[in-house]
Amino acid sequence: MQDSEHSSPDQRVMPLIAETAVSGTAYSFDMLFSYTVPERLAADIACGCRVLVPFGRGNKRRIGVVMKLSEGDGRGLKSLVSLVDDTPVISGELLGLAFYLHDQTFCTYFDGVKTMLPPAMSVSAKETFRLVKNFTGTASLSREAAELLELLSVTDGGKALNELIEKHIIDNGRRLTDELCDAGALDSDNVFRQTVGDAAVRMVRLSDEYTASPERFSLTVKQKAVADFLGEYGTAAVKEAAYMCGVTEAVIKRLCATGAAEEYEAEVLRRVEDHADEVRRPGDIVLSEEQQRAHDAVYAQLSEKKPAVFLLHGVTGSGKTSVFEKLIDDTVNMGRQAMLLIPEIGLTPQILKRFRSMFGERVAVIHSGLSMGQRLDEYKRIKRGDADIVIGTRSAVFAPLDNIGLIIIDEEGERSYKSDSSPRYNTHDVAKQRCACHGSVLLLASATPSIESYYLAERGAYRLLEMKERYRNAPLPEVSIVDMNLERGEGNRTEFSRRLAEEISANLKNGEQSILLLNRRGYHTIISCCDCYQPVYCPNCSVPLTYHKKNNRLMCHYCGYISDPVTVCPSCGSERLKNMGFGTQKLEEELSMFFPTARVLRMDADTTFSRYSYEKNFTDFRDGKYDIMIGTQMIGKGLDFPNVTLVGVLSVDKALYAGDFRSYERTFSLITQVVGRGGRGDSRGRAILQTFIPEHYIMNLAAAQDYKGFYNEEIAIRRAMIFPPLCDMCIFCFTADEDITVRLGAEAVLRLMNARLKALQPKTPVRVLGPVRCSYGRINGRYRYRIIMKCKNTAEMRGFISGILTEAAKLKEMKNVSLYADMNGDVGV
């Protein structure tokens, strides 16, 4: 009979295998790497936990995330070093989303997980060593390991020992260090440091011993006062207890030293201020007939708990936000969670204030303008269930909600919803995935929907809802198109048409506010040579430098390069330079000359460095502290200022010819949206659209707020040219330090693509264009080329793209070239 304590070989327990996404891997060799789980970690490990793993030939320590766990034969596999987290940092649903991002956006598995976590949660590992006293196993060591141990033994230990081991690992790898650890000559420990720690406050409470027998303790008068205070209130912050008892913190420290009290740390959350001064209730919302119809259609789907996508097309000022509020209230009343995504950080304070006034602390906010600590704490509030409504920009789509009922994407046509760094995801696609998982509703909303979304609505893939009237039947602004060619012909050399100047004067006289859009920041946009006609370019980018008068510097808006003003042309040496172009700084200066009594607020990237700048400036404008707000496109969307009755659009002509097939769409959207900022109060709005191409149909359709007319024109062009949404476009972008290097690399990849396509014979049509130099051929010192592939985003084509990225890394021409693929990314950059 076999001893019950010994199992036969075929009955032995199989080790746990952790399939792990490892940090720092390139896409060309990325995969899930398998590691055995040591018995000491087996009870605590779970999918979604971060771990420390040995990686590569030198067994360098790297952070990873456990994506799958299974039992299997662990022979030949390395073992996990340690656990970083006691509990998973990411849910099973979001792990599934990481697999989706890897498949759809051609990112590494680790990048897919990393983008879902707040940056403050990033961890680094610090390994420390100490010699084991009385080690007697020297005879079992290899000669090299014994020599290393002898060298380590003569150090002072501590810092010197660790510095010597660290240098040895860098120079020679971990083999000998691991041998010493395995033999028991060295002990190692890993300390994990989070980028931003949890915020905590020092607290004090009475000890159990004092509570049971206070007479046993001999306390001073001041200590007794603190003890009596804690006896009444139970616990308090150390500072609070000292203040309330009129003593110093030293008294509390001595009280703890006697054993009568004890200090401990309590976590506190860094709050995002909203300055919501009024309290509103969902019952206060009064919907118009149009709003109610839109609400009822979405509510019916919410009740079914089945995934669906709606497109709400409502003119500017139609009251879409009230519909959002009502639907979010319905969702949380059903016991589910809601998410509202907005395109610009600048809109967040206004939206947050509005929703916090109605829903209070149930609202969490996520966007890049918050401090790392604030983002971490908002993430914690959501994960704990303290907040069931999330408001934020693109990254908020990954909020750790576990029972989503509704996701709303406002101004859904904005390109800011498309990530331009790895993972290069489209927020709409991620939201659809989450809605499919939770059985929830996705509501896309805009006055100017993307052509892709409206096309899908027309085909029945989305349900189209329309609100054609402004709330309370407020009229749309009266729009006038001014031909600036005539103004120039009649001697007006300023940026203000006579009509716009008259309307601004009238507004100042009537105490009404004006908004002026000029989508170019800086003072002069180009410094040009009168002899060779070349602009002064950034030395790192193929982009002209912009002159900023505020700091008397030339600046590159792409790489951040700054220089003193030049007096000699870098191309030909001529001293005959002239300033050309007109930016927001110069507009601000000219406004002050024309209207010296006007209070002018400038809003652009130069005036909004601080995360508080948006909120303060917009609040001041709403409170009437300024008469005129001028700015770039950041002022064009979503803002609601009741006293604005005049909107001026100074120049968007160049945007029509930006080299991107979406340039007409973006220009139409920008004009339509900024014109819609006016006339939201009791007075009808006016808008002045200044242009050198007044006959262009985009100008006239935007002036008429005629989205359907624009859509019909645009979809006809895209159908003829075979552009999205009639196909998908994958952009292969190549960068390198030398122009010839990147060009040869791109040409080699093109040959590879053609050969693979010929062998594959894909089921759907494919057209490959390029390689060509990008519109901005050099950015931040790197030369840039692209190949465009028109295709259908199918599993077959994604597999093809993934294979090209992997195989391209092995080409000799690609040795010093970086390559990424971006499905439906921008082609005009």
Helix (H) or strand (E) holding 430: helix 427-438
- Reported as a pLDDT band with limits 50, 70 and 90, residue 347 is low
- Reported as a pLDDT band with limits 50, 70 and 90, residue 448 is very high
- Reported as a pLDDT band with limits 50, 70 and 90, residue 10 is very low
pLDDT tens, position by position, 204-238: 899 989 988 888 898 998 999 899 888 877 788 88
Return the residue matching tokens 């200590």: 223
pLDDT tens, position by position, 786-828: 999 999 999 999 999 999 999 999 999 999 999 999 999 887 6
Return the pLDDT at 120.
82
| Range list of H helices, 449-599 | 451-458, 484-489, 498-510, 584-594
**What is the Cβ-side half-sphere exposure of residue 215, based on CA atoms within 13 angstroms?**
0
DSSP line for 774-827 = EEEEEETTEEEEEEEEEE---HHHHHHHHHHHHHHTTSGGGTT-EEEEEET--S
DSSP line for 53-85 = EEETTTTEEEEEEEEEEEE---TT--B--EES-
Beta-carbon contacts of 766 under 8 Å, excluding residues fewer than 6 positions away, are 757, 789, 790, 791, 797
pLDDT tens, position by position, 730-766: 999 999 999 999 999 999 999 999 999 999 999 999 9
- The Cα 120–Cα 375 span in angstroms is 8
Return the residue matching tokens 């994958």: 730
Return the pLDDT at 6.
38
> Using alpha carbons only, what angle is made at residue 591 by residues 590 and 593, rounded to the nearest 5 degrees?
65
Structure tokens belonging to residue 131:
């010699």
Nearest to 176 by CA among 167, 192, 135: 167
Nearest to 824 by CA among 282, 450, 268, 369: 450
Return the residue matching tokens 């951040």: 560
Return the pLDDT at 605.
63
Please check the confidence at residue 519 and state whether its pLDDT lies above 80. no
- The Cα 39–Cα 324 span in angstroms is 51
Please check the confidence at residue 3 and state whether its pLDDT lies above 60. no
Collapsing DSSP states into helix, strand and coil, what is residue 497?
A: coil
When mean pLDDT is compared over 11-15, 664-668, 714-718, the highest value belongs to 714-718
Alpha-carbon distance values, 678 to 375, 698, 706 (Å): 34, 20, 17
Return the pLDDT at 9.
44
Please check the confidence at residue 102 and state whether its pLDDT lies above 80. yes
Using a pLDDT cut of 70, give the percent of the chain over it.
Answer: 93
- Reported as a pLDDT band with limits 50, 70 and 90, residue 178 is confident
Collapsing DSSP states into helix, strand and coil, what is residue 614?
A: helix
pLDDT tens, position by position, 615-673: 778 888 888 999 999 988 777 766 778 889 999 998 778 778 766 888 899 889 988 88
DSSP code of 537?
Answer: B
> What is the distance between the terminal CA atoms of the chain, rounded to a whole angstrom?
77
Please check the confidence at residue 273 and state whether its pLDDT lies above 80. no
Name the pTM for this structure: 0.82
Please check the confidence at residue 496 and state whether its pLDDT lies above 80. yes
* Residue 165, phi then psi, degrees to nearest 5: -65, -40
Nearest to 468 by CA among 447, 451, 452, 453: 447
Return the pLDDT at 168.
85
> CA torsion angle for 733, 736, 741, 747 (degrees, to 10)?
-10
Strands across the sheet with 50-55, in order? 33-36, 16-22, 60-71, 50-55, 82-83
Beta-carbon contacts of 1 under 8 Å, excluding residues fewer than 6 positions away, are none
Mean pLDDT score of the chain:
87
pLDDT tens, position by position, 19-44: 999 999 999 999 999 999 999 999 99
* Residue 475, phi then psi, degrees to nearest 5: -70, 150
Please check the confidence at residue 91 and state whether its pLDDT lies above 60. yes
Collapsing DSSP states into helix, strand and coil, what is residue 39?
A: helix
Mean pLDDT across 413-423: 92
Beta-carbon contacts of 262 under 8 Å, excluding residues fewer than 6 positions away, are 204, 205, 206, 207, 256
Task: Select the more confidently predicted residue: 333 or 622.
Answer: 333
How large is the angle between the packed helices 320-333 and 348-359, nearest 10 degrees?
Answer: 40
Structure tokens belonging to residue 538:
């950034």
- The Cα 410–Cα 397 span in angstroms is 13
Structure tokens belonging to residue 381:
């509030």
Name the E strands within 90-178: 123-131
User: CB–CB of 89/54 below 8 Å?
Assistant: no
Task: Select the more confidently predicted residue: 555 or 582.
Answer: 555
- Reported as a pLDDT band with limits 50, 70 and 90, residue 280 is confident
Return the pLDDT at 199.
60
244: left (phi over 0), alpha (psi -120 to 50) or beta: alpha
- The Cα 653–Cα 656 span in angstroms is 6
Q: How many CB atoms lie within 10 A of CB 8?
A: 7
pLDDT tens, position by position, 433-445: 999 999 999 999 9
* Residue 156, phi then psi, degrees to nearest 5: -80, 0
User: SS in 3 state form for 9-26?
Assistant: HHHCCCCEEEEEEECCCC
Return the pLDDT at 609.
47
Of 33-47, 66-80, 340-354, 694-708, the range with the lowest mean pLDDT is: 340-354
- The Cα 161–Cα 128 span in angstroms is 9
- The Cα 543–Cα 776 span in angstroms is 7
Mean pLDDT across 581-595: 84
Strands 600-603 and 404-410: unpaired
Helix (H) or strand (E) holding 98: helix 92-105
pLDDT tens, position by position, 52-64: 999 988 788 899 9
Return the pLDDT at 64.
95
Nearest to 203 by CA among 242, 232, 231: 242
Strand partners, 507: none
Please check the confidence at residue 269 and state whether its pLDDT lies above 60. no
Beta-carbon contacts of 254 under 8 Å, excluding residues fewer than 6 positions away, are 220, 223
